[in-house]
Chains A and B, each alone.
Chain A
Amino acid sequence: AQSVAQPEDQVNVAEGNPLTVKCTYSVSGNPYLFWYVQYPNRGLQFLLKYITGDNLVKGSYGFEAEFNKSQTSFHLKKPSALVSDSALYFCAVRDNPSGQNFVFGPGTRLSVLP
């Protein structure tokens, strides 16, 4: 069975500094990895995904994520944080492209301080 860990409940970063939100995963086959963001009182919004190809994936709002197979990680990054990036971030994994069992991590709350 697949699983996702987000080791940090909370990440604080100053505006303009780079940010990283960590995610590690466990799957039996090839991983299909996703990042979602949730703003207060809203549903989850898709940010980016890794299916195959380049290990560095670029997504919405200037976010990117790096897939590292040897470390089973898929960390979310942004070179320069904005206050408006403050939200709850979820990493998710599925174990094949047609499988429908998405597994979500517990979420990491990002606070960008002005």
Chain B
Amino acid sequence: NAGVTQTPKFRILKIGQSMTLQCAQDMNHNYMYWYRQDPGMGLKLIYYSVGAGITDKGEVPNGYNVSRSTTEDFPLRLELAAPSQTSVYFCASSGSDTQYFGPGTRLTVL
């Protein structure tokens, strides 16, 4: 049982490039989330999903897209990277009331 896994761990992008952050969970959780954490700040919700095929915006969705084709996977897509998207990204999943987090992806946009 690996829990929540994220790849890659680190990535440097140039402005305007695109990439996909991968997230997978093996706990058969219906709910999955993407957060970003900026230095000295708490977590801000980007997108979340309540089940396969269903996604919804969180607090800071601009510049990101998600899809949920399976229960296990919840990738986050950055289409045109901007310096403001430099952050640490965390994926989480939940079966009921408690969220379980992945180790994070540290993204730098230069």
Contact = CB atoms under 8 A, between A and B. Distances in A.
Contacts, number: 48
Contact of B98 (A34, A41, A104, A105): A34
Interface string A41-54: 11111100101000
A63 interface: no
Contacts of A107: 41-42
Nearest to B6: A43
Say whether chain B's binding surface is mostly helix, strand, loop, or mixed.
Answer: strand
B42 A51 contact: no
B90 A102 contact: no
B97 A51 contact: yes
Give the interface residue-count category, chain B.
20 to 34
A42 B103 CA distance: 5
Contacts of B104: 41-43
Nearest to B94: A100
Contacts of A43: 4, 90, 101-104
A104 B45 CA distance: 9
Interface string B66-110: 000000000000000000000000101010111111111000000
Interface residues of A, number: 21
A97 B97 contact: yes
A104 B100 CA distance: 14
A102 B42 contact: no
Given A43-B103, A100-B31, A90 B42 contact: yes
Interface of B: 4, 31, 33, 40-43, 45, 48, 50, 58, 90, 92, 94, 96-104
5 contacts: A43-B102, A46-B100, A101-B58, A106-B42, A107-B42
